[in-house]
Chains A and B, each alone.
Chain A
Amino acid sequence: MTFDRAAKERLVQALAAPMIAHADELTSLDQAIGDGDHGLNMKRGFEAVLAMLPGVADKSAPEMFKAIGMTLVMKVGGASGPLVGTFFMEFGKSLPDAPSRADLVAAADKAIVAVKARGRSDAGQKTLLDVLVPVHEVLAGGGDGAAIAAAAADAAERTIPMLAIRGRASFLGERSIGHMDPGSRSTSLLIVAAVKALEFEAGS
């Protein structure tokens, strides 16, 4: 996969667009089981990321992801800022500018380990990890962009019957069941947007 300047710019725009467009939806999901700030927080963070264009697209892949991650950490707030920001920062760390499938799988693996450590959480606890982990499996298995996007959307849906164990939703206990996890929803939107922007091909 080529990850040239144009692709980098496309990716940044693609990531920001759904966070801005779906802010109200994310907020209403968060009002059901959290503190109702997820949409606004993610919108604020990705507006700040968008404002880093065009300069940020001139950076190397690791530098670009580090800059995006740091902006998200500083601007998003809430628990999501450090979690999503950590994902980006770790994901980019050893990413070459023409990453192979194996490079992306390895980068995602490291990023997921870092998110687990940051949140002291794992898949199955109604968090963004419930999207990241199954999407990583499809990526590692050679799935194409459509398969990855479908896995992300399905995974977010599958958080609906889950019981929240980490995060603010865990205060609700069993009342967290029956609502989609807002962090899983935003993560799935970001993944769908990313694979579309990068025209991901099977096995590439």
Chain B
Amino acid sequence: MSSSNSANVGIVIVSHSIKIAEGAADMVRQMVGNAVPLGWTGGDVDGGLGTNVAGILAAIDAAWSPAGVAILVDLGGAETNSEMAVEMLPDDRRARVVVCNAPVVEGAVIAATEASGGSSLSAVKRSAEELYA
């Protein structure tokens, strides 16, 4: 799920709850409009609370940017599944996707704000992770 296209770093939001993922995406849109490619996903394959690799891969695809994609996750399984998804990406994409160690909502908003200014993937990740520093 996504919208927008741009050369800026893309943002992916992965939550156990699709409502949180969607709500965080709404907050990102309110902050940066369509300046960054955005994808989000939540829920297990049956639609319950959880995360799933296929959904994460689709969200990365939706938020794809040549500048790379920063993923924001909520709890444990979201992180493990996101790392798994990154590993399953084609070689030319894998090195350009990072999972940020940051709170999902605040991290997504900060990362998107940073990305909207044209910052590099590493700068976007750093800004999000400063929230935990």
A82 adjacent to B83 (CB under 8 Å): yes
Stretch at the interface among A13-21, A55-63, A72-80: A72-80
B46 proximal to A (CB < 8 A): yes
B54 adjacent to A82 (CB under 8 Å): no
User: In the complex, which residues 70-111 of chain B have their Cβ closer than 8 Å to any Cβ of chain A?
Assistant: 75-77, 79-81, 83-84
Residues of A within 8 A of B81 (CB): 77-79, 81-82
Residues of B within 8 A of A79 (CB): 76-77, 79-81
Among all A-B residue pairs, the 8 with the closest Cβ atoms: A77-B44, A82-B84, A79-B77, A77-B50, A78-B77, A79-B80, A82-B80, A79-B76
Q: How far is the CA of A56 from the CA of B16 in the complex (A)?
A: 31
Residues of B within 8 A of A86 (CB): 84
Chain A positions within 8 Å of B, measured between CB atoms, are: 35, 37, 40-41, 44, 73-75, 77-83, 85-86, 118-119, 166-168
B51 proximal to A (CB < 8 A): yes
B48 proximal to A (CB < 8 A): yes
**CB-based nearest A residue for B51:** A77
B1 proximal to A (CB < 8 A): no
B21 proximal to A (CB < 8 A): no
B50 adjacent to A73 (CB under 8 Å): no
Residues of B within 8 A of A83 (CB): 80
Given A73-B84, A118-B80, A118-B83, answer yes or no on A82-B53 (Cβ-Cβ < 8 Å): yes
B50 adjacent to A37 (CB under 8 Å): yes
Shortest C-beta distance, B94 to chain A (Å), equals 15
Shortest C-beta distance, B80 to chain A (Å), equals 4
Q: How far is the CA of A78 from the CA of B77 in the complex (A)?
A: 4
B52 proximal to A (CB < 8 A): yes
Between A and B, 16 residue pairs with Cβ closer than 8 Å are: A35-B49, A35-B75, A37-B44, A37-B49, A44-B44, A77-B81, A78-B44, A78-B50, A79-B76, A79-B81, A80-B77, A81-B84, A82-B53, A82-B80, A83-B80, A118-B84
Shortest C-beta distance, A51 to chain B (Å), equals 14
A168 adjacent to B80 (CB under 8 Å): no
A73 adjacent to B53 (CB under 8 Å): yes
Shortest C-beta distance, B56 to chain A (Å), equals 11
Shortest C-beta distance, A47 to chain B (Å), equals 11
B27 proximal to A (CB < 8 A): no
B131 proximal to A (CB < 8 A): no
Q: How far is the CA of A35 from the CA of B53 in the complex (A)?
A: 19
Shortest C-beta distance, A88 to chain B (Å), equals 13
Besides the known contacts A41-B44, A78-B51, A82-B53, 19 further A-B residue pairs in the complex with CB atoms under 8 A apart: A35-B49, A35-B75, A40-B48, A41-B50, A44-B45, A73-B84, A77-B45, A77-B50, A77-B77, A78-B81, A79-B76, A79-B81, A82-B83, A85-B84, A86-B84, A119-B80, A166-B76, A168-B75, A168-B77
Shortest C-beta distance, B69 to chain A (Å), equals 19
